[in-house]
Chain A
């Protein structure tokens, strides 16, 4: 159990376009979902925390109008990168915490975004 999926796994888009990434908890309900980004040879940096039905909480330095997060249900959160630029190219990873349990986070396989 505790499987998290992401779609797409890889996306290439042109500069100025928007890209939506989905994160789903497949076999459990997630009270909270988290979005991270990872640049090459670096560690993961938390971008935002989202709770179902409420607005996401963004980390310092992350533009909320550029990285739109929607957490419409207990099994789905989406991250939309708006007006993407080459510097947004990165590996985006989501995670989910189960309802009422230890707070352990289960991670998705990641989405490789390349903006040309």
Chain B
């Protein structure tokens, strides 16, 4: 059974810093790996999708990588801004069903 873990659980950084969020999964037979952002009391915003045959995806200041052999994905945020403050969730699975990680609560201090 797929289990997804995110480290750290919470992170506070000053504005302008580059940062990395980590996601680990137990089953390397992963179908897709998605990164999401969730603001308090809101739904999910999809940030990046990495398909199983891909190794990374980039969108603006965000870069996500996928290493199936080690069971890890990272989300790199460059030049962080206060507006990046939110909970970041990764999710993946061996089928089209997504198993969500525990999330990282990011606070970017102005």
Contacts and interface: CB of A to CB of B under 8 A. Distances in A.
Nearest to A49: B97
Contacts of B46: 104-107
A71 to B, nearest CB: 15
Contacts, number: 54
Interface string A24-61: 00000000101010000001111001000000000000
A108 B96 contact: no
Nearest to B96: A103
B76 interface: no
A97 B96 contact: yes
A49 B46 CA distance: 19
A93 interface: yes
Contacts of A112: 41
Q: How large is the interface on B (under 10, 10 to 19, 20 to 34, 35 or more residues)?
A: 20 to 34
Interface stretch (B14-22, B65-73, B77-85, B98-106): B98-106
Contacts of B34: 104-105
B97 A46 contact: yes
Nearest to B36: A107
A107 B97 contact: no
B43 interface: yes
B31 A110 contact: no
Most B-side CB within 10 Å, residue of A46, A93, A102, A103: A103
Nearest to B89: A43
Interface in B6-59: 31-32, 34, 36, 41-46, 49, 51
Interface of A: 6, 32, 34, 36, 43-46, 49, 91, 93, 95, 97, 102-110, 112
